[in-house]
Amino acid sequence: MDIETLKSRLTKAKLIIGNISDTLGKFFQENEPAPVGAIAFDLDFYSSTKDSLKILLAAEKYLMPRIFCYFDDTLGTEMELYNDFTGQRLAINEFNNERQDIKLGVPYYLANLGISDAWWHQIWIAHIFNHSLYNKFVGGGQRQLPLSG
């Protein structure tokens, strides 16, 4: 990769290169980003995915209460044969088993959209249950019918 050429093409994004276990710990303090609402986990391995999931443990001000997560290596082909006990899926399962306040799960609503592309099977949602905004109603309009006597 030509790092300098890539950096020269970035207008708003910032390129951070390094082992995720080294760069994640200081990422929020050094960059002060807006709250994270979506993450693309393109890390290929169990170990790097395991380390990267620590991003979901950041201070609340850096996270939305629900975060869309894309995991590129959760489906695979007939050669990879990923399952819940290997690679990214194993890292996700271990993360879920280790925590009660944050869980990653698939968003079943995508099944209702009639999308046949594989990518929607690679979308997960991180629910941060202890986030102060988690129970804030996000729907629009009045959703209750008035009681009439």
What is the chain's percent helix, strand, coil content, to nearest 5?
40, 15, 45
Beta bridge partners of 40: 70
Task: Please list the alpha-helical segments (H only) found in the chain.
Answer: 3-9, 20-31, 46-52, 87-98
- Both structure tokens of 135: 């129970």
pLDDT at 143: 67
Give residue limits of the domains in the chain.
Answer: 32-128
What is the model's pLDDT at position 137?
83
Tokens of 77: 């082909």
Segment-wise mean pLDDT, segments of 10 residues, the chain, 149 residues: 92 90 93 95 93 97 97 90 93 98 92 80 96 87 69
Q: Taking the model in full, what pTM does it have? A: 0.86
pLDDT at 96: 98
CATH class of segment(s) 32-128? alpha beta
Contact assessment for residue 67 and residue 126, using Cβ atoms and an 8 Å cutoff: yes
